[in-house]
Chains A and B, each alone.
Chain A
């Protein structure tokens, strides 16, 4: 999906080192009454130039649903009756003295729909405030905390700060907050987080390196055992991770990312267990020869390594090599060898599992006369072995498939896909199975009584055949269609139908389901994207033996607007 640069910068402008020049401008001076007036000057919606000191904007959703569920109600996510939903997004922008800016966001929700939210009170689901200029960022509330891969990549609630001095080789970041709120129902303590990161770029104007960064970070997560009453299921975790990471790019051809980390983890302090220490390493060199790009990954994470809010697959060693080659504008390919195993030193696994995977795909745009025509064949071969007696996991999975997309004239797009997958278990041949997945989609846009009509169809089949089933298969047929008709300039009619037919290998387990909707969307204001929507839904699920069958019908009224 293509996203316009404006949207991208809109999300990145809060961060230091964003678009050049975006945050270096000195703000004009504004009087206090002017600031108050500008904030609530709603008729100037969306006009936030240099002459305006600040702005409050947002989005409001007001929805009422009436549900009717019949049959086996335990198989429906819906509940009988009327439910309401109110969602309010508030955005604040304010120019502060010098070159500082303030950005704030608030997301509030109130609903009695337990499918969306367990509690009926007004919940602040997201709130944050940032004060920043080109060198400093201070934020409080909810934010995405990110250090290195092994250490931190998680939403946090608390405070964060970032400092990027002018003409300096050092950058610093700091976070303190919580990654988990106390939850008595789920037996979870509040989990606090504190950490810091320093990055050094010693060769900023080097003739050899285009980028040379070394980072060091440390982060600690620890439960607050006084945050909820303790019972047998509550776990008091204490986890710390420290790492050195970096990127090194030469002016030409070669670059490398790396990280080495060590963790200290106590899974549950109540058990009076000792800290367990583990190490992790990743090395990712890359060679770029123009049409040929080579990437290698070495990954080694000890079984005792654990990062609570970082990202790591523990008890794993891996070599992965990928070669991407562009033959010309019409043909490119990607080939990967992926070899990994577990049962490293101190592993809790009873035996070692070794996976050897080969992946190959081509991207083809072969026809000059049909620029939109593309075809992508792919194949994967995965072999799994284990070192226990009898090689109990010995199996191979072979996959072959292709996807193709094309347009026919200016108004029709279509695509075809096919996939064949064969799983062969050498140790347990009765588990061997193969799948076939053909599919097709077509969409068309045309005039109908002088107005725009868009519709699409997407039928698909999945056939699963167990080799021990004497030719019997599970056949799953899906059909999906959606459409949109512009009845007038302001009224749009949306409609859709999904159908699923399951012909099961198990006795008395066939089923048939439909999900359909019709929706009228009336635009009250294009400028503020104000819409009034009425939607009718009807879902049905019929199971052969009758015990699972249910029906759902819904009427939804919705008003949504920006302000």
Chain B
């Protein structure tokens, strides 16, 4: 019964939206807030891609020189923890994207599947964290990690 309701809701929504869409033929631009969410998701993807296939060279490129408390110490820490195992899966779900002056913060839930070198079998981890990205000359850079760090 529940499944049927879900599918009916899905279909009704689909038709409503398609109906709305067909009404309008005018030039558009994407909503402001959506741009920031898209940018946030793109940056999150980039950070975790460089983390999962870690090399110090590429990972350093996405970390701001103004990382707080310290960029070099943060990269050392991530490198040290990465050296303990292979990251097989990294999932995340964004809850909030909030703008600041020349920056934005992203709050998210994360899940990580790791195979540690000194331990048999897979280890599953979960947490909630917050990233802050700064706008710099070369693009957006990770400038702060708060909460339960996924690294």
Interface of A with B (CB < 8 Å)? 1-3, 6-8, 10-15, 17-18, 42-47, 57-60, 62, 64, 75, 77, 82, 84, 89, 91, 105, 107, 115-117, 125-126, 128, 142-144, 146, 149, 153-155, 297, 299, 311-313, 316, 318, 320, 322, 336, 338, 340, 357, 359, 361, 376, 378, 380, 382, 399, 401-403, 417, 419, 421, 423, 433, 435, 437, 439, 458, 460, 462, 464, 474, 476, 478, 480, 500, 502, 504-506, 508-509, 511, 513, 515, 524-525, 527-530, 532, 541, 543, 545, 547-548, 557, 559, 561-563
Shortest Cβ distance from residue B52 to the other chain A in the assembled complex, whole angstroms: 8
Whether the Cβ atoms of B43 and A142 lie closer than 8 Å is no
CA distance A462 to B13 in the complex (A): 47
CA distance A144 to B36 in the complex (A): 14
Shortest Cβ distance from residue A54 to the other chain B in the assembled complex, whole angstroms: 13
Whether the Cβ atoms of B117 and A313 lie closer than 8 Å is no
Shortest Cβ distance from residue A406 to the other chain B in the assembled complex, whole angstroms: 15
- Tell me the B24-65 residues at the A interface (CB within 8 Å): 24-37, 39, 42-43, 46, 53-58, 60, 65
Query: B23 at the A/B interface (Cβ < 8 Å)?
Result: yes
Whether the Cβ atoms of B95 and A146 lie closer than 8 Å is no
CA distance A193 to B95 in the complex (A): 21
Known: A59-B34, A91-B33. 8 other contacts (CB 8 A): A6-B35, A58-B34, A117-B93, A403-B58, A421-B83, A541-B88, A548-B122, A563-B17
Q: Which residues of B contact A128 (CB under 8 A)?
A: 98
Whether the Cβ atoms of A75 and B10 lie closer than 8 Å is no
Whether the Cβ atoms of A77 and B124 lie closer than 8 Å is yes
Whether the Cβ atoms of A43 and B72 lie closer than 8 Å is no
Whether the Cβ atoms of A91 and B53 lie closer than 8 Å is no
Q: Which residues of A contact B109 (CB under 8 A)?
A: 116-117
Q: Which residues of B contact A532 (CB under 8 A)?
A: 14
The residue that A3 contacts in the complex, of B3, B99, B132, B139, with Cβ under 8 A, is B139
Whether the Cβ atoms of A64 and B6 lie closer than 8 Å is yes
Whether the Cβ atoms of B86 and A502 lie closer than 8 Å is yes
Whether the Cβ atoms of A528 and B21 lie closer than 8 Å is yes
CA distance A13 to B99 in the complex (A): 10
Q: Which residues of B contact A60 (CB under 8 A)?
A: 13, 17
CA distance A504 to B115 in the complex (A): 10
Whether the Cβ atoms of B144 and A530 lie closer than 8 Å is no
Shortest Cβ distance from residue A235 to the other chain B in the assembled complex, whole angstroms: 16
CA distance A211 to B39 in the complex (A): 31
Whether the Cβ atoms of B53 and A89 lie closer than 8 Å is no
Chain B residues with a Cβ closer than 8 Å to the other chain, count: 81
The residue that B28 contacts in the complex, of A89, A419, A511, A527, with Cβ under 8 A, is A527
CA distance A382 to B72 in the complex (A): 11
Q: Which residues of A contact B73 (CB under 8 A)?
A: 313, 338, 340
Query: When A8-B135, A312-B69, A561-B17 are in contact, do A44 and B26 touch as well, CB less than 8 Å?
Result: yes
Whether the Cβ atoms of B36 and A419 lie closer than 8 Å is no
Whether the Cβ atoms of B24 and A311 lie closer than 8 Å is no
CA distance A65 to B24 in the complex (A): 30
Whether the Cβ atoms of A144 and B121 lie closer than 8 Å is no
Whether the Cβ atoms of A504 and B117 lie closer than 8 Å is yes
Whether the Cβ atoms of B26 and A43 lie closer than 8 Å is yes
Q: Which residues of B contact A380 (CB under 8 A)?
A: 56
Instruction: Pull 5 A–B residue pairs with CB atoms less than 8 Å apart, ordered by A.
Output: A7-B39, A45-B28, A320-B70, A561-B20, A562-B31
Whether the Cβ atoms of B96 and A530 lie closer than 8 Å is no
Residue of B nearest to A437 (CB): B55
- Tell me the B88-124 residues at the A interface (CB within 8 Å): 88-89, 91, 93, 95-105, 107, 109, 111, 113, 115, 117-118, 120-122, 124
The residue that B104 contacts in the complex, of A11, A59, A154, A460, with Cβ under 8 A, is A11
Residue of A nearest to B143 (CB): A153
The residue that A64 contacts in the complex, of B7, B34, B124, with Cβ under 8 A, is B7
Residue of B nearest to A46 (CB): B28
Whether the Cβ atoms of A144 and B99 lie closer than 8 Å is yes
The residue that A7 contacts in the complex, of B6, B35, B120, with Cβ under 8 A, is B35
Shortest Cβ distance from residue B7 to the other chain A in the assembled complex, whole angstroms: 7
Whether the Cβ atoms of A336 and B72 lie closer than 8 Å is yes
The residue that A530 contacts in the complex, of B9, B21, B26, B91, with Cβ under 8 A, is B21
Shortest Cβ distance from residue A442 to the other chain B in the assembled complex, whole angstroms: 15
The residue that A2 contacts in the complex, of B23, B124, B139, with Cβ under 8 A, is B139
Shortest Cβ distance from residue A158 to the other chain B in the assembled complex, whole angstroms: 13
Shortest Cβ distance from residue A462 to the other chain B in the assembled complex, whole angstroms: 7
CA distance A15 to B104 in the complex (A): 12
Query: B68 at the A/B interface (Cβ < 8 Å)?
Result: yes
Q: Which residues of B contact A421 (CB under 8 A)?
A: 56, 79, 83
Whether the Cβ atoms of B98 and A562 lie closer than 8 Å is no
Q: Which residues of A contact B140 (CB under 8 A)?
A: 1, 3
- Going nearest first, the 6 A-B pairs with the smallest beta carbon separation are A46-B28, A11-B99, A311-B68, A525-B21, A10-B32, A144-B98
Query: When A155-B105, A478-B53 are in contact, do A45 and B24 touch as well, CB less than 8 Å?
Result: yes
Whether the Cβ atoms of B68 and A153 lie closer than 8 Å is yes
Whether the Cβ atoms of A77 and B56 lie closer than 8 Å is no
Shortest Cβ distance from residue B22 to the other chain A in the assembled complex, whole angstroms: 8
Shortest Cβ distance from residue A124 to the other chain B in the assembled complex, whole angstroms: 11
Q: Which residues of B contact A543 (CB under 8 A)?
A: 121-122
CA distance A199 to B122 in the complex (A): 51
Q: Which residues of A contact B17 (CB under 8 A)?
A: 60, 530, 559, 561, 563
CA distance A452 to B107 in the complex (A): 36
Whether the Cβ atoms of B20 and A42 lie closer than 8 Å is yes
Whether the Cβ atoms of A47 and B115 lie closer than 8 Å is no
The residue that A89 contacts in the complex, of B37, B65, B101, with Cβ under 8 A, is B37
Query: B18 at the A/B interface (Cβ < 8 Å)?
Result: yes
Shortest Cβ distance from residue A179 to the other chain B in the assembled complex, whole angstroms: 10
Whether the Cβ atoms of B70 and A439 lie closer than 8 Å is no
The residue that B122 contacts in the complex, of A75, A107, A320, A419, with Cβ under 8 A, is A75
Q: Which residues of B contact A17 (CB under 8 A)?
A: 101
Whether the Cβ atoms of A126 and B89 lie closer than 8 Å is no
CA distance A8 to B91 in the complex (A): 27
The residue that B88 contacts in the complex, of A13, A125, A513, with Cβ under 8 A, is A513
Residue of B nearest to A8 (CB): B135
Shortest Cβ distance from residue A388 to the other chain B in the assembled complex, whole angstroms: 20
Whether the Cβ atoms of B24 and A43 lie closer than 8 Å is yes
Whether the Cβ atoms of A500 and B86 lie closer than 8 Å is yes
Whether the Cβ atoms of B100 and A15 lie closer than 8 Å is yes
